[in-house]
Structure 1
Amino acid sequence: MNATTAMTVIPTLETSRLRLRAPRFADWPAYLAFLASSRAQFMGGPHTDETAWPFFCNDVAQWQLFGHGALMLEDKDNAAVLGQVALCKGPLFPELELGWFLYEAAEGHGYALEAAAAMLQWGFAAREEQSFVSYIDPENRRSIRLAERLGASLDETAQRPHPATLVYRHPRP
């Protein structure tokens, strides 16, 4: 799929515990709180509302522009929003990136692995790419471990958005 055939419907994906759904404006306050916190250190943060808003809009707009973007992680039992998973690219990254983040209360429950695995499965079913990448700060040990648990391996030859960024490649199954 390319920009001329982009989807206009954002998918809803479900796992045993999670609903991965389109971002809503009601998600903005928690999203901003995350990006304004030290938890966003590996995403160029902490951010102000002026620098966080473009992130949020980019995550939503990529669905209409390219047929991929971000989905919010929602607990199926209580509808609590736990974080985000995304397949994003646009003009910012050399390749289509699988990315994720969790809000602090959601850490340590396996939600990121569950959501990222579901997004990978959807991505390979819906798109023709032979692989996706995850761009990870070398200090972000938790994301490195998660990428490896998802079956990704370090690709030292891949183009990267910043020279220090690590690129983990998720091959098509």
Structure 2
Amino acid sequence: MPHDIAAIPVIETERLLLRPLVFADWPAYFAFLASDRARYMGGPHSEETAWSFFCNDVAQWTLFSHGALMFEDRQTGETMGQVALCKGPLFPELELGWFVYDGAEGKGYALEAASALRDWGFATLGVSECVSYVDPDNARSIRLAERLGARLDPEAQAPHPANLVYRHERQAPQKNTT
């Protein structure tokens, strides 16, 4: 059943606003995917491929009630990257993915954005787990998956045989023992 596009979430964290993609995001999105920075995502990519990715990130909301959100600094409005919960026919499992624009790395933004969208997915979609598909040479994404509390799952199926699969599981609520 199609999802109401007006229901795409806007999620606020301490420093970030996670919001739907808009066409104004396209130039920076394309520049990222056309650059060497996209090498862990099969890039650099052509404009045609990048446009397919962009449209897929938007369409997933309508088709599956999940998709990608851009994240921006709440104070400045600067867009710093993207975080996504995606599945569709291309991924064996619901994937929590991210990318960060040049200059925004190492400041905890991806951790903050990915944690917020993952937790939204657990609460809103009712899923108990998701995965992150990570290129084995992408040390930063491996560290981020581990900082998010994900564990390497060598038995899981990946969309590309070389990908590592990190499994994120919803934590059971802690019982108050006092």
TM-score in terms of structure 2 length = 0.93
Paired residues in the alignment total 170
Instruction: Select the residue among 64, 67, 88 that pairs with 1:66.
Output: 64
Q: What is the Cα-based RMSD across aligned positions, in Å?
A: 0.9
Q: Structure 1 residue 31 and structure 2 residue 36: aligned?
A: no
Alpha-carbon deviations, 1:46-85, whole Å to 9, x = none?
Answer: 0111110000000000000000000001111111110000
Instruction: Select the residue among 86, 107, 115 that pairs with 2:105.
Output: 107
Could you tell me how far apart the structure 2 residues matched to 1:122 and 1:114 are?
12
- The residue aligned with 1:147 is 145
| Runs of 5+ consecutive residues of structure 2 not aligned to the other structure | 172-178
Contact 1:7/1:66, CA 8 A, preserved across alignment: no
The letter of the residue matching 2:78 is A
Question: Segments of 4+ in structure 1 off by > 2 A?
Answer: 4-8
- The residue aligned with 1:89 is 87
Could you tell me how far apart the structure 2 residues matched to 1:76 and 1:91 are?
34
Could you tell me how far apart the structure 2 residues matched to 1:150 and 1:43 are?
20
Could you tell me how far apart the structure 2 residues matched to 1:41 and 1:10 are?
29
Shift, 1:130, TM fit:
1.7
3-state DSSP of counterpart to 1:28: helix
The letter of the residue matching 2:79 is V
Could you tell me how far apart the structure 1 residues matched to 2:48 and 2:141 are?
26
The sequence identity of aligned pairs, in percent, is 68
Contact 1:70/1:88, CA 8 A, preserved across alignment: yes
Contact 2:2/2:62, CA 8 A, preserved across alignment: no
| Runs of 5+ consecutive residues of structure 1 not aligned to the other structure | none
Alpha-carbon deviations, 1:110-165, whole Å to 9, x = none?
Answer: 10000000011101001122210000000011000000000000001111111111
Could you tell me how far apart the structure 1 residues matched to 2:43 and 2:73 are?
26
Could you tell me how far apart the structure 2 residues matched to 1:68 and 1:135 are?
17
Question: Over alpha carbons, which structure has the higher Rg?
Answer: 2
3-state DSSP of counterpart to 1:142: helix
